[in-house]
Amino acid sequence: MPAYKWTGIFQNGTSCHGKLEAESSTHVQEILLSKNIALLSCSPAITFNILKFKKFEGLLGYEIFAKKITFAQLLPFFEHMNILVKSGIPLLSSLKISGQQLATQQLQATIKEIVHNVERGESLAHALQKHPATFTLFITHLIGAGEQAGKLSLVFENLSLYFKRRIELEKKIKQATLLPFITLGFALCIFIIIFALIIPQFSTLFTALNKPLPAITKTVLAISACFTTNILLIFFTLLILFVFLAKKALRISRINHYKDALVLKIPLISSIVLLTNLVRFLRIVSMFLKSGITLTTALEKAAKSIDNTVLQANIEAAHHAVMQGKSLEQAFSTKNNYLPTELIALMSVGEQTGTLELMLDKAADFLQDKLSTQLELLTTVIQPILLIITGIIVAGLMLAVYLPIFGMASVL
C-alpha cells in the first residue's frame, strides 16, 4: 500500500503532520477526518529499502523501521482470536483484545489500523489485505471464505494449527543444518589460523635454507602469502561481487527455473526440498477445503505457496487438468509429476469417499514424519563427511610443511 505525507490542522487550530499508509489521498482524508483532523496537503511519500532487509514505513505522526513479522509472532494473535470468537465475543472486541496481547509494537499498530477499518464497515478480510507484508494472500482468502460461510472460528483454529506445525517444521530444519554449519565454520577458522599464523613461520625457515621445495609445499606457501597481501582482499571482494550478481541473476525467471530444476536432481537435498514444499501445499489445500473453498480455487491459491518454480508449474498444470474435469489422481499421474505414488493414492481415496481434506491432512502428517527422518539422515551423513574432509586437508597441509624437513633430515 502506498504511503502519503500529510499536513493538517486540529479543531483547536493546532497544526500537525505525519505519514500514513492509504489507498489514495481521498482515503488519507477519510482517516484523518475520523481523528478530527482537517487535511491541508497530501503528497506521495518516498520509501527507502535498506539492504532489502528493512522497509521504511510510517504510521500516523511518527516513523519507524519495520521488520518482517514472523510466524511465531502471528501465532498468538490467531490463537487468541480462535478462543475469543469461539467463546461468542464479537469480532471487533476480539480484535481489540488480541491486539493488546501482542508482544511487538509493529504488529499492535497493524491490528489497531485493522480495527479502525473494521469499525468503518470493512470486512476483516478486506482490512487484512491492506497489510500484505504481514497477512499473506492465503490468509486473507481463508478468512474471507470463513466470513462468508460463518466459519471464522474454524478458520482461526486451522490457521493456529498450521502456524504451529510450520514453526515446528522450520525449527527442525534449522536444527538439522546448524551442526554442519558450525563444523564448517570451525574448519574455516582452523584453516585461517594455519595459513595466516603457522605457515608463515615455516616460510621464513625454507627461505633461509635456500633449498628446492616440493610442488605441494610451494602451493601452500603461495596460498599463505595471500593472507599477508592485498590478494586476499581482492578475492573476498570478487566473492561478494559474485554473490551479489548471482542474486540478481536468480531474479531472472529462466535462470531461477534452471536453478530449481537442478536442486531437484541433487540426492537427499531434492527430497528435503520436495517434502518441505509438499507438506506446506497439502496443509494449505486442506485448510481451504475445510473453509468451504472449491478444490480448483484451493489448488490455484496453494500453488503460490510453493517456493520451487518447477514444482509450482507441476501443480499449476494439475490445477488446469482439474478445471477440465479430471480427478486429482488423473491430474497428478503424469510422467513429469514429482508427487509420491502413496500421496496420489491417498488423494484418490479422499476424492472417492468425500473426505479429501482429511486425507490431505493425514498425507501432510505422513510426509512431515518422512521429512524429519530425511533431516536426521542429512545431519548424520554430512557431519562425518565434513570432519573427514577437514582432517584430510589438515593432514595435507602438515605433509606439505614437513616434506622439505624430512628431505633435509634424510640428507643429513
Cβ contacts of residue 338 below 8 Å, gap of 6+? Answer: 264, 274, 310, 311, 314
pLDDT tens across 116-145, in order? 989 988 899 999 988 888 888 888 888 988
Q: Return the number of other C-beta atoms located less than 10 Å from residue 333's C-beta.
A: 17
Strands laid side by side in the 54-59 sheet:
49-50, 54-59, 62-66
List the grid coordinates of 167: 514453526
Domains and CATH numbers, the chain: 3-66 (no CATH), 71-163 (1.20.81.30), 168-412 (1.20.81.30)
Q: What is the mean pLDDT of residues 150-157?
A: 88
Q: What is the mean pLDDT of residues 263-271?
A: 86
Cβ contacts of residue 225 below 8 Å, gap of 6+? Answer: 203, 231
Whether pLDDT at 65 is above 80: no
Whether pLDDT at 412 is above 70: no
Please state, in angstroms and rounded to a whole number, the distance separating the CA atoms of residues 139 and 151: 14
Which range among 21-25, 221-225, 333-337, 351-355 has the greatest average pLDDT? 351-355
pLDDT band at 338 (very low <50, low <70, confident <90, very high): confident
pTM higher than 0.85 = no
Q: The dihedral of CA 165, 166, 172, 175: what is its sign?
A: negative
Backbone angles phi and psi of 257, in degrees to 5: -65, -40
Helix (H, G, I), strand (E, B) or coil at 59: strand
pLDDT tens across 73-108, in order? 888 899 999 899 888 889 989 999 888 888 788 888
pLDDT of amino acid 63: 36
Closest of 27, 30, 34, 32 to residue 7, by C-alpha: 32
Whether pLDDT at 353 is above 80: yes
Q: Determine contact, residues 381/182, Cβ cutoff 8 Å.
A: no
pLDDT tens across 3-29, in order? 778 787 777 667 777 777 777 777 777
pLDDT of amino acid 179: 81
Q: Which residue stretches of 88-151 are H helix?
A: 91-100, 105-119, 124-129, 137-149
Percent of the chain with pLDDT over 70: 90
Please state, in angstroms and rounded to a whole number, the distance separating the CA atoms of residues 311 and 303: 9
Closest of 286, 303, 304 to residue 155, by C-alpha: 286
Whether pLDDT at 48 is above 60: no
pLDDT of amino acid 141: 86
Helix (H, G, I), strand (E, B) or coil at 56: strand
Q: Residue 123, CB half-sphere, CA atoms under 13 Å: how many?
A: 14
Report the mean per-residue pLDDT for the chain: 81
Please state, in angstroms and rounded to a whole number, the distance separating the CA atoms of residues 235 and 240: 9
Q: Determine contact, residues 367/164, Cβ cutoff 8 Å.
A: no
